[in-house]
Amino acid sequence: MSETILITGAAGQLGQRVIHHLLETEKVPAANIIAATRDPAKLADLAAKGVVTRKADFDDGDSLAAAFNGVDRLLVISTDALAVPGQRLKQHKAAVEAAVKAGVKHIAYTSMPSPDKSLVTFAPDHLGTENAIKAAGVPYTIIRNAWYMDNYLHGMPHNLQSGSWYTASGEGKISNISREDCARAIAAALASGTKESATYTVTGAEALTADQIAAIVADTTGKPLKAVQVTDEQLGQGMRSAGLPDFVADMLVSADANIRAGNFDLVTADYERLTGRKPETLKDFFVSHKAALIA
């Protein structure tokens, strides 16, 4: 592959793994990969492998324009600016504008499933970014990543200590996917060389209820765990009492509401279509992360 590929957010967890799979799985030459982040000093390990590093600050349009210069394919990894409403969408639009000015030939973006009907608080950011990319007139690949399995590692160890997992997801189902699988799918899409526009929804192979997920956790760890259904209000109050910031509590409550509404209950073959592999199961993910669960 002779095209240059730039990855924003390259110091983040997803960005690091996308670059890993570009190098190791897709065999893209390091010199064709550009890793961009606010502080390129954090990319020293990649630079040592021959990956080009550049500064890209989503709040500085000039830095984005400079970073995207000479880039054929751009991956915009959605930023973490969630505390201030509207800030993330503003950043993403600035990146799309800079990409167009720089003459980028293909834009890829990490989105979420069904942002047009999602109840998750940050869904408008994703929908707005998708629309901005489509309006730019540049070929695109939108990769809608399902809810990460990795997200369970934050709260599940605490839940296992009490034996109760408080959730407002009701009987709704969710099809999770690991961050690692998302990175592998994104790398495959970037390295494909496609000139067509496409939208993929990358999910796991099965949709599960909270009761089913709790049973898998219990079976994996050997510790009892019961999913306890509460209201949105009770869940939000509990999270705030535990010290979570308002915007985080609101986001997590909205995610459960989205599951309850059936908006995360979708299983696609897009991961296998992109990678030629089956996605990791939730059971296998929990087995490989058992130490973190029982920490």
pLDDT in tens, 43-80: 999 999 999 999 999 999 899 999 999 999 999 999 99
pLDDT value at residue 107: 98
Rg (CA), the chain: 19
182/279 Cα distance (integer angstroms): 9
pLDDT per position as a tens digit, 115-131: 999 999 999 999 999 99
pLDDT value at residue 2: 84
Question: Taking the domains of the chain in order of start, what are their residue ranges?
Answer: 5-145+178-203+267-280
Six-digit token string for 8: 């924003």
CB atoms within 10 A of CB 59: 13
Assigned fold of 5-145+178-203+267-280: Rossmann fold (3.40.50)
Which amino acid, residue 73?
R
CB atoms within 10 A of CB 196: 9
Q: Report the run of H or E that residue 110 belongs to, with start and end.
A: strand 106-111
Residue 1 has pLDDT above 80, yes or no: no
Reported confidence tier of residue 295, pLDDT bands at 50, 70, 90: confident
pLDDT per position as a tens digit, 240-293: 999 999 999 999 999 999 999 999 999 999 999 999 999 999 999 999 999 999
Q: Which of 59, 194, 79, 67 is nearest to 129 (CA)?
A: 79
81/164 Cα distance (integer angstroms): 31
Six-digit token string for 248: 């985080």
State how far the alpha carbon of 172 is from the alpha carbons of 242, 249, 264, in Å. Answer: 25, 19, 8
